[in-house]
Every structure is written in C-alpha cells, then in structure tokens.
Structure 1
C-alpha cells in the first residue's frame, strides 16, 4: 500500500510541475518558473523515495533525498526573494 502512495505523490508532483511550467510558457510570470522548477525537484525527490523504500530497500538514499529536497526548496526561495519582476 505504501508503494502506491509513494507513486501517487511522485505523479502528483510531476503533474504540478508540468502544469506550472506550462503556465509559465504561456504567461511568462517568473514565479511560475521557480515554482515549476521546485516541483520538478520535489517530483525527483519522490521518485528517489520510491527507489529508496520500495525498489532498493537495502540501500539508504535518505541523504540524496534530503539533498534534492534542499536544492528544490532553495530554487523556490531564490525565486521568491531575489527575482524581482
């Protein structure tokens, strides 16, 4: 059951990233770009979670997951703070 939920989280993050980046292509609002890139990182984080917990349970990928999440949040934080429209 948990692998199904992990997969749904990854799919939801990927769909959100696609929608945000598609809206950025149409409207060119930079906040949509930074949010979309953040969700790409969060989707990658969820894919690594599936790898970590379901496919490769013997290998600890928690450090990689945390690094990817940190980079994703840093991208969004950069967009919120320093990117002035």
Structure 2
C-alpha cells in the first residue's frame, strides 16, 4: 500500500509542476513560474522518496530528499518575496 501512496504523491507533484508551467506559458504570471519550479523540486523529493523506500532499501537518501525539499521551498520563497505584480 505504501508503494501506491508514494507513487501517487510523486505523480501529483509532477502534475502540479506541469500545470503551473503550462499556466505560466499561457498567462506569463511569474508566480506560476516560481510555483512550477517549487513543484519540480518537490517532485524530485518525492521521486527520491520512492527510490529510498522501494528501490534502494539499504541506502539512506534522506539527506538528498531534504536538500531537494529545501531547494523547492527556497525557490518558492524567492518567488513570493521578490516578484511584484
């Protein structure tokens, strides 16, 4: 059951990144650009989670997952703080 949940979380974050990027291309709103980058980082985080828990069970990828999540949040914060409408 955990495999399904991890995979669905990864697919959802990839879909959010794609939809944000597509919305940015259509409207040109910079916040959608930063949101897309954030969700891309969260997608990397979720893919690393799937790899960590299901594929490489003897290797600990926690540090890499945390780095990806931190980068995603920093990108979103940068976009929220520095972009003005």
Q: Deviations over 1:6-54 (max 9, x none)?
A: 0000000000100000000000000000001100000110000000000
Q: Which residue of 2 is the match for residue 49 of structure 1?
A: 49
Cα separation, 2, equivalents of 1:66 and 1:11: 19
User: The residue matched to 1:12 in structure 2 has which SS?
Assistant: helix
TM-score by length of 1: 0.98
- Per-residue deviation at 1:71? 0.2
**How does 1:16-31 map onto structure 2 within 5 Å?**
16-31=16-31
Q: Which residue of 2 is the match for residue 63 of structure 1?
A: 63
| 2:6 is aligned with 1:9 | no
Gaps of 5+ in 2: none
Cα separation, 2, equivalents of 1:17 and 1:52: 22
TM-score by length of 2: 0.98
Q: Which residue of 1 is the match for residue 75 of structure 2?
A: 75
In the TM superposition, structure 1's runs of 4+ consecutive aligned residues that sit over 2 Å from their partners are: none
Gaps of 5+ in 1: none
